[in-house]
Structure 1
Amino acid sequence: MTASSQELHFADAGEAADLAAFLARLIHYDRAAAVRLQAGGGVLAVFGRPPSFEVLAIRTARLDAIVGTEATSGTSSASGTSSASGTSTVSGTSAGAAGGPGALDTTVSAGEFADALDTARAGRTADGPSQSHDRGLVVTVPQAVTGPPWAGVLPPRGGWRRVSGLPGVDEVRGAVAAAVAEFRARDTTLPEERRTRAERDRIGREIWTRTLGD
């Protein structure tokens, strides 16, 4: 029997930590959330969709490599006056170009991917200061799952054009900072009996559904 898996070699453990935080937010909204992973050009793109919003959220992280591993095990037995059985395992590893198009394209459980990131980060911490020179992180890609309909139709990579009426980068950054500050202020003033997830989600939806620009 043959089983294969892939490992993502992140160029920066800090970017992997940011990705873990992104997955935690998705799982907060939906414990059964799925994400689509695509890699190319030395970058991993992770697509997710919070159920409270009609948008796709994207996070990226740089990759040093994508490594595929394959393990084969077999059992043989002979019967007669005596019997014997043995199991052998053969493993192979092939390093894929982190920059190769289509090097990785799969949909996985957000929870399982978050667990894989946490496991890799915990193992790196356990290695101690001697490993501090290594800025990267190696994470095993979970098994693929059947994703939701949106995962089958992602935004195009090319052909984008600027549309008038959209806010500029500085305006968006200012609006986001103001929204975060407003949420924190309103959360602080909530009485203890109303400090619930439902109430916080309601405030969040009210703030984040406001229109920017035209």
Structure 2
Amino acid sequence: MTSPQSAVLTFPDVESLADLGTYVARAKGLDPDGAMRLQAVGEVLAAWTCAVPGQGLMRSGLVLALRTMPLAGAHELDVTVPLGGLSDRFARRSATGETGTSLPVPPTTVSPQWAGVTPPRGGWEPVGEVSTEALHAAAEQGIAEIAQGAPEGAGSAAVAMLRARVWAREIEGGAAAGAGLAVKVLGFARAGDGQVARVFRSGAWTRVSLPAGHVLTR
């Protein structure tokens, strides 16, 4: 871990900042020891987190989630920080009744392997569509399958292999089941809302896109 110079993200309104807080809380529920990569360019923040870390040097089975939100004024930032550090800041805001639109970025950074893997910016071709019902169903089935197949006392390597196999499974529209996990847990869509996500592919990557965010798998 390192401690970079302090940085501050400034949002156009309290609602946009609260949106990031909700996203952080949901990501922490998925992985309490997880991290979030904050990439700010100009007036846009791209907030990345990992739903499934993948395996091997190529991080096969990796599932990344991305939400973008507006910023006020020009920013330039690319750091990966613990979710715990971010959630502490939001908890402090809540406890003190803070209503400002600026968020100090935690000074402690981390270097999870997934943060060094950057999906392609271009070359995305549409390959299909997947309903939010199918995404939620895949998530629920996968969670149940992992719970049943990884009983208490199971080795971490065996559990990791099981998770990778379950979440890499292809579902409707060419999406991976792991995309369903991210959509469900991170709140990108609700079951039964009638939404349909578009599915794109670029090389080894697949992207499931909804208005609330994107899930990228490889």
Please indicate the TM-score interval, normalised by the length of the shorter structure.
0.5 to 0.7
Task: Please report how far the alpha carbon of residue 173 of structure 1 lies from its aligned counterpart in structure 2 after TM superposition.
Answer: 4.1
Partner of 1:150: 114
- For 2:46 and 2:69, how far apart are their aligned partners in 1? 7
Aligned pairs for 1:11-160 (under 5 A) are: 11-51=12-52, 54-65=62-73, 97-98=74-75, 103-123=76-96, 126=97, 137-157=101-121, 159-160=122-123
Q: CA 1:15–1:208 in structure 2 vs 1: closer, same or farther (change >3 Å)? A: farther
Match of 1:213 among 173, 180, 199: 173
Task: Please report how far the alpha carbon of residue 58 of structure 1 lies from its aligned counterpart in structure 2 after TM superposition.
Answer: 0.9
Deviations 1:93-143 (A, max 9, x none): xxxx23xxxx101110111112213323544xx36xxx7xxxx62111001
Identical pairs, percent: 33
Task: Please report how far the alpha carbon of residue 200 of structure 1 lies from its aligned counterpart in structure 2 after TM superposition.
Answer: 10
**Once superposed, what is the RMSD of the aligned Cα atoms?**
3.4
The 3-state SS of whatever aligns with 1:45 is strand
Q: CA 1:174–1:153 in structure 2 vs 1: closer, same or farther (change >3 Å)? A: same
Runs (5+) with no aligned partner, structure 1: 66-96, 187-197
1:172 and 2:131 equivalent? yes
The 3-state SS of whatever aligns with 1:155 is coil
Task: Please report how far the alpha carbon of residue 17 of structure 1 lies from its aligned counterpart in structure 2 after TM superposition.
Answer: 2.2
Task: Please report how far the alpha carbon of residue 163 of structure 1 lies from its aligned counterpart in structure 2 after TM superposition.
Answer: 3.5
Task: Please report how far the alpha carbon of residue 42 of structure 1 lies from its aligned counterpart in structure 2 after TM superposition.
Answer: 0.5
The 3-state SS of whatever aligns with 1:46 is strand
Q: CA 1:64–1:122 in structure 2 vs 1: closer, same or farther (change >3 Å)? A: farther
Q: CA 1:4–1:25 in structure 2 vs 1: closer, same or farther (change >3 Å)? A: same
Partner of 2:180: none
Q: CA 1:56–1:140 in structure 2 vs 1: closer, same or farther (change >3 Å)? A: same
- For 1:212 and 1:199, how far apart are their aligned partners in 2? 19
How many residue pairs get matched?
Answer: 147
- Under a length normalisation based on structure 2, what TM-score does the superposition of the two structures give? 0.54
Of structures 1 and 2, the larger Rg is shown by 1
Instruction: Report the residue type matching 2:124 in the other structure.
Output: R
Runs (5+) with no aligned partner, structure 2: 54-60, 149-162, 175-218
Deviations 1:32-74 (A, max 9, x none): 1111110013011111102387310112221113xxxxxxxxx
- Under a length normalisation based on structure 1, what TM-score does the superposition of the two structures give? 0.55
- For 1:163 and 1:7, how far apart are their aligned partners in 2? 37
Instruction: Report the residue type matching 1:118 in the other structure.
Output: A
Task: Please report how far the alpha carbon of residue 27 of structure 1 lies from its aligned counterpart in structure 2 after TM superposition.
Answer: 1.8
CA contact (8 A) 1:11 1:137 kept: yes
The 3-state SS of whatever aligns with 2:27 is helix
